[in-house]
Amino acid sequence: MKEIQNRPPGKQLGQGMLIACLIIGLAGLTFFFDELLGQQINPNQNPQSYEGNNGFREVILQQNRQGHYVTSGVINGVPVTFLLDTGATDVAIPSHIANLAGLVAGTTSQAATANGVINVFATSIDELSIGSIALSNVSASIASNMPGETILLGMSALRQVEFTQRGTTLTLRHLADRQ
């Protein structure tokens, strides 16, 4: 004869609810910590911008935990992430982002990088912006073997702004007539 198990009513439903709550809790924690890690890598996702009466625009950036200045910006209408690099001659863009931004690959040359000599293609960015600062006709290089989603913001863009570092803050200042 079969033995009939005597389960309290709703026990299976309660176990299902517990599992659902655990899954929702884990998803929430994942979302929270993903956002927290994103803020540590790029603390300037919405950089502070100021516009002065005499035609200047300022953007204030905070260092990330590694001591770098990373910020969100836009190239030809495409949202991007910049890593400020005063050691880079040009703005260096991975080819997949260059395609999204509609950049045309020009002449081929070689560039010396920390990872060795690579082939790059000359291009020009119609508009590059960080916060309220907008730069036009910026020289850039498309690097076909550059991994990741980060663009190196080199001196072809940075020479168009004044920059001052104090502690862990970097201030970029652009005069409207200075392009």
Q: How far apart are CA 95 and CA 97, in angstroms?
A: 5
pTM attached to this predicted model: 0.74
Tell me which amino acid residue 76 is. Answer: N
Beta strands per DSSP E along the chain? 48-51, 56-62, 70-75, 78-84, 91-94, 108-113, 116-130, 133-143, 150-153, 162-166, 169-175
- The model's pLDDT over 73-93, given as tens digits with 9 standing for 90+, comes to 999 999 999 999 988 899 999
Tell me which amino acid residue 73 is. Answer: G
pLDDT of residue 38: 47
- The model's pLDDT over 19-40, given as tens digits with 9 standing for 90+, comes to 777 777 676 666 655 554 445 5
Q: What percent of the chain has pLDDT over 70?
A: 82
- The model's pLDDT over 146-168, given as tens digits with 9 standing for 90+, comes to 888 899 999 999 999 999 999 99
Q: What are phi and psi of 13, to 5 degrees?
A: -65, -40
